[in-house]
Amino acid sequence: MAIRYVTSGESHGKALIGILEGIPSGLPVSDGDIDRELRRRQRGHGRGGRMKIEADRANILSGIRFGKTIGSPIALLIENKDWQNWEDEMSVIPLTSSLNKGRNKGELGASPRPGHADLAGAVKYDTHDMRNILERSSARETAMRAALGAIAKRFLSEFGIKIGSYVIQIGKVQSSKLKVKSSEKELLESFRSAEISPVRCPDKISSKKMVHLIDKALKEGNSLGGIFEVFAAGVPIGLGSHIQWDKRLDGKLAQALMSIQAIKGVEIGMGFEMSKKSGSEVMDEIFYKKFGVRSSELRITHHGFYRKTNNAGGIEGGMTNGMPIIIRAAMKPIPTLRKPLHSVDINTKKPIKAAYERSDICAVPAAGVVGEAMTALVIADTFLEKFGGDSMAEVKRNYNSYLKYISGF
C-alpha cells in the first residue's frame, strides 16, 4: 500500500482528525483545495440542521510547507463547532455525581435505532450507553474523508485524472440519464450540471421531482435513500492487477465505497444489469486509432485502443482498460426517523420507540462527494503503487516513461 490514512474523532467531540501518509513531496496543496470539498459535502436539499451550525474548514497541522507537500505525513484537523453544545455530554473528564446530574441523557442511551450501529456496537463494546457507539459511527466522520480525498484529487489532477459524481436516483425518482457513459466529455457535462442542482442530479426534470419527494418525506417524518454515480476520467490503462484477489482495483473500489456509512450496494459499470443480458450485448468491443486522433465522441487514449461502449465501467480483470471508471453506490434511507420505529430498551428489555437524534432527511448528494474522496484515495494509492516516487518530479518521470511505452505498444 503506497498511501495510508486514518481518521479519528466523534460526531459531537472537539474535532475530527485525519492523517494521510504517502503523498510525494512537491505537490501544491492549499487549504482552499480542501475547504472546497468540505463545502460540497455540506450542500444538498434534505440535509439536517447541523449543516447550519458547522461551516467546515480544515486546519493543516503538518506535512505541507510553503504551499507544497514535503513527503511527511499530512495531518488535518476539522473543528466541531457544535461541540460547545455537548461539552458535558462528551467530556473526557471522569464522570462525577455532579456532572452526571447535569447530563442530558434522554432516551438515546438505552433505545437502539433499527438500521443503525447502536445495538450491535453496544453488545460488541460492552456498553449500555449507546452514545459511545453512535458518536463514532455517525457520518460526521466523512467530513475528514472528504478532506483527505481532496488531497488525493489534487495529486491525481497533476496527471490529468478527473473525479466527479452525480445523483441518479432518490427514492423511486430516477434520472433519465442512466446509461453508462463512455466519453470524458459527457461525464464532465453531467458533473457540471449536477453541481448547480439542489440534489446534485444532472437531469433538471428529475431534480425537481427529487426535491418534491424529499419535502414530502420531511412532512411525513421519514427519510430517503438513493443512488449516486462516481467517475474517474483520464485514468491510464494498467492500474490494478489480475494476479491476486487483493490487487484487483474493482475489489478495492467496492470496499472503499461500501465503507461509507449507509451504503448497501456497489456496482461497476453496468453491474447487475449485465446478468440479464447475453455476452454479445454487454462486452465492450475493442477498436484502434492512431495515437493523437480525436473524435467528437471519444478521447483516444495514448495507446490508441478504445471502446465505443463502457459497460465494464473502465475495469476488466481487476485492471483499468483506459476507459473512464464508473461506479454506482446505493445508499439506504437514514435510520434516524422523526416518527420512530419499534425498538427495545436494552436495560429493561421492554418495548419502546427508537430514539430520535437530529439528522438528515436525505444525504445522497453528500454521499456522492464522499464517494469521490474514497475513489480518489484508492486510485491515488494504486497509481503510486505502479509509478512510485518520493517526489512529484520522480513520479512524473516514471509516468511519462510509461506513456511513451504504451504509445508504441
Give domain limits for the chain. Answer: 4-407
Query: If you average pLDDT over residues 369-393, what whole number do you get?
Result: 98
Residue 50 has pLDDT above 70, yes or no: no
Query: If you average pLDDT over residues 216-220, what whole number do you get?
Result: 94
333: nearest Cα among 361, 306, 312: 361
Taking the C-alpha atoms of residue 74 and residue 72, their distance in angstroms, rounded to an integer, is 6
Please give the pLDDT value at position 95: 72
Could you tell me the pLDDT band of residue 409, with boundaries at 50, 70 and 90? Answer: confident
Write the CB contacts of 307 (distance below 8 Å, at least 6 apart in sequence).
182, 284, 285, 286, 287, 321, 323
Please give the pLDDT value at position 54: 64
Taking the C-alpha atoms of residue 322 and residue 183, their distance in angstroms, rounded to an integer, is 11
Show the beta-strand stretches assigned E in 162-274.
Answer: 162-170, 173-174, 226-233, 263-268
Please give the pLDDT value at position 291: 56
Could you tell me the pLDDT band of residue 125, with boundaries at 50, 70 and 90? Answer: very high
DSSP code string of 265-328: EEEETTGGGGGGS-HHHHS--EEE--TT-B-SS-B--TTSEEES--TTTTEETTEE-SSPEEEE
pLDDT (tens digit per residue) in 177-191: 778 888 899 999 999
pLDDT (tens digit per residue) in 354-380: 887 778 999 999 999 999 999 999 999
Please say whether the structural domain 4-407 has been given the CATH code 3.60.150.10: yes
The alpha carbon torsion through 183, 185, 191, 194 (nearest 10 deg) reads -100
Query: If you average pLDDT over residues 288-313, what whole number do you get?
Result: 69
